[in-house]
Structure 1
Amino acid sequence: MSWKDQLRADSEAWLLENDSPGVRYLALRDLAGLAGEDAELKSARRRAHKEGPIAEVLSHIEKAGYFVKAGPGYSPKYRSTVWSIVLLAQLGASADEDKRIAQACKYLMDHALTEGGQFTAVSSASPSGTADCLQGNLCWSLMELGYDHPRLRSAYEWMARTVTGDGIAPMKEKDAPVRYYAGKCGPLFACGSNNKLPCAWGGCKVMMAFGKWNVNRRTPLIRKAIRQGAEFFLKADPATADYPNGYAEKPSGNWWKFGFPVFYVSDILQIAEALTGLGYGNDKRLANTINLIREKQDKNGRWQLDYDYKDKTWVDFGARKKPNKWVTLRALRVLKHTV
């Protein structure tokens, strides 16, 4: 069975059209499977960096390497350094293709990564400003951008430790060398913003990041964190998003709104992206989720944009409720990993 048998029509051909150079490049890389040194892929990658969204985002970078405001770069949303780097990663940008991307990555690590491996959102550079969504987003993004800096090892080890709880003291033990904080307050994705309960939105980002960490690099602690994280997402049916809701009575409706880009709000498609990226594509507990994704395609094998950041970030990615190449690319990547 070909993975394309899951489609109602050949939407890959739509993604390979020349009108969207960024989508075309990623479709050649991730769907058509062209090798890194393939001449067509290299040409598409160069064009994607010179035209379209990547070029637009990079046009706003400051000479020092930050976006909008100096410092750790969490605010203002969604144009500051953190969000610009996350967006560039989702667009397929590469630090090897444009030196400004490497400069932005270096600036981020110099100003937002603490000695303990925490990415922080606060200007004081305190590790207390960390959170799963921030940590996962930035670990994933830096790896996706090809900025594989040795200091990321400490970021991954901290992230794994916060999932398992190994060697990390409770938040109240303020003199402990390694402890939880008000935001990142406990194991298995517990978050202060989710009433101290596990936050599946943050967990998605953490699991996405683990998927980018090479298997040969995964320490026993990281492997343990991956297993525990996968069980967290699969113990409930991911298609129902029946995870702790914090202060709400039921799951956020945004779970079922597939979007682009994906910042800290997650959708069910991102659960599937994370789990298929870690090798769980054929797990029976994910079957309903994969079916839900299939059912959301239209007669042309395309997925619509349901959630966006129109006028909030550097680029708009199409009209809501209309077939969208970026969302379709996300869906096709997942379906390819289930066969």
Structure 2
Amino acid sequence: MVSTGSVIDWLLDSDPAIRWQVMRDLLDAPETEWQAERARVETEGWGAKLLSHQDADGQWAGGAFLPADYSEEKWRAQGQAWTATCFSLQQLHEFGLDPTSQRARNTIDLIGRHCRWDHDGQPFWDGEVEECINARTVTAGVYFGVDVSRIVARLLGERQADGGWNCERCNGSHRSSFHTTINVLEALLAYERAEGTTSEIRAARRAGEEYLLERHLFRGLARGAVVDERYLAFLYPYRWRYDVLRGLDHFRAAGGAPDPRLAEAIAHLRSKQGPDGTWRLDWSLKGPVWFEMETVGEPSRWITLRALRILRWWNENAGR
């Protein structure tokens, strides 16, 4: 790898949402220091900017999954909107908004009282019917201290026979999806860390992880071909999408010795590092956002942060 010194400086010369994670995950700074930096997410930079778009009733754009005024015609013309409540909460979680802050507590309370899912008017923290949406609701709920155990129970009962999950199950799919599986795996891991685990949760998470590992994070099981070239291209924010970087980051977060079947994905990750030590933003999802953070084709702090912490975990635990 290229020396990371100048890259670390570049990462630190950015938003609080990036800086506190660099301090914690790459520099091993004392908790008091990175927590102080994380507290700035609420009042500075991207976090403060996103919070400034919040509605008085706690929602964003007046809706749970879609903005209140987002018609089918707008979707066809502009793509899926990423401005509604569920995506805004996901982003605040990834920024690291302090879940114990008064602003966070007020937000979660207001959403519980006012926000209803577009599907059938279900209360936000009850979830709805689609696995990807419910998984992200679990991840956000766990982070912000909400009881999402009923959604977890539902997800456990929706696992496919091949080990993973697919949000097209309700339309008759019997095969898992990389996209849905990574969303559910992140949710189950977050729930285990916060609430404790059970044999059922452990078995489900391990089965979902095995689904990805058997496929080396991006290959089909039958022929070994790349399932989707975009799995090998990195994006952020990833919303519901899967890519190899997101898969690797899950296994890093789960901890322990890396499975040897991750080696090919690690080699791909290393191959995408630029001469300056950074990784680029390869693409982004179409659709309205509150604001752009980075430019496609340019070095990405989000992707570089995630890549460096993945490689740190691999190098320290895989003996290579």
TM over 0.5: yes
8 Å contact from structure 1 (residues 260, 317) kept in 2: no
1:162 maps to amino acid: E
The answer to whether residue 135 in structure 2 is matched with residue 133 in structure 1 is no
Equivalence for 1:217: 196
The answer to whether residue 262 in structure 2 is matched with residue 286 in structure 1 is yes
Equivalence for 2:151: 155
Deviation at 1:259, TM superposition (A): 1.3
Residue number among 84, 88, 91 corresponding to 1:87 in the alignment: 91
Equivalence for 1:74: 65
Pairing of 1:10-25 with structure 2 (within 5 A): 10=5, 11-17=7-13, 19-25=14-20
Identity, in percent, stands at 22
TM (norm. structure 2) is: 0.81
8 Å contact from structure 1 (residues 7, 294) kept in 2: no
Please give the root-mean-square deviation of Cα atoms over the aligned residues, in Å: 2.9
Q: Deviations over 1:27-77 (max 9, x none)?
A: 1122223343x1x3233123232111101110011121111114xx01132
Distance in 1, Cα, partners of 2:8 & 2:238: 21
Cα distance change, pair 334–160 in 1 and its aligned pair in 2 (3 A): farther
Gaps spanning 5+ residues in structure 1: where?
Answer: 1-5, 114-119, 166-185
User: Which is worse superposed, 73-82 or 8-17?
Assistant: 8-17
Equivalence for 2:119: 122
Residue number among 82, 103, 108 corresponding to 1:105 in the alignment: 108
Distance in 1, Cα, partners of 2:312 & 2:268: 15
8 Å contact from structure 2 (residues 57, 111) kept in 1: no
Equivalence for 1:65: 58
Cα distance change, pair 278–65 in 1 and its aligned pair in 2 (3 A): same
SS of the residue corresponding to residue 281 of structure 2 reads coil
Residue number among 184, 205, 208 corresponding to 2:183 in the alignment: 205
Equivalence for 2:239: 263
SS of the residue corresponding to residue 300 of structure 1 reads coil
1:320 maps to amino acid: V
8 Å contact from structure 2 (residues 234, 245) kept in 1: yes
User: Which is worse superposed, 277-286 or 200-209?
Assistant: 277-286
2:206 maps to amino acid: R
Cα distance change, pair 235–42 in 1 and its aligned pair in 2 (3 A): closer
8 Å contact from structure 1 (residues 142, 148) kept in 2: yes
User: Which is worse superposed, 73-82 or 133-142?
Assistant: 133-142
Distance in 1, Cα, partners of 2:40 & 2:3: 30
1:258 maps to amino acid: F
Distance in 2, Cα, partners of 1:291 & 1:200: 20
Distance in 2, Cα, partners of 1:281 & 1:69: 44
SS of the residue corresponding to residue 236 of structure 2 reads coil
Q: Deviations over 1:182-204 (max 9, x none)?
A: xxxx9731332786121110101
Distance in 2, Cα, partners of 1:50 & 1:100: 10
Which protein is richer in helix relative to its size? 2
Equivalence for 2:76: none
Aligned residues: 294
Cα distance change, pair 128–313 in 1 and its aligned pair in 2 (3 A): closer
8 Å contact from structure 1 (residues 133, 205) kept in 2: yes
Distance in 1, Cα, partners of 2:120 & 2:296: 35
8 Å contact from structure 2 (residues 139, 186) kept in 1: yes
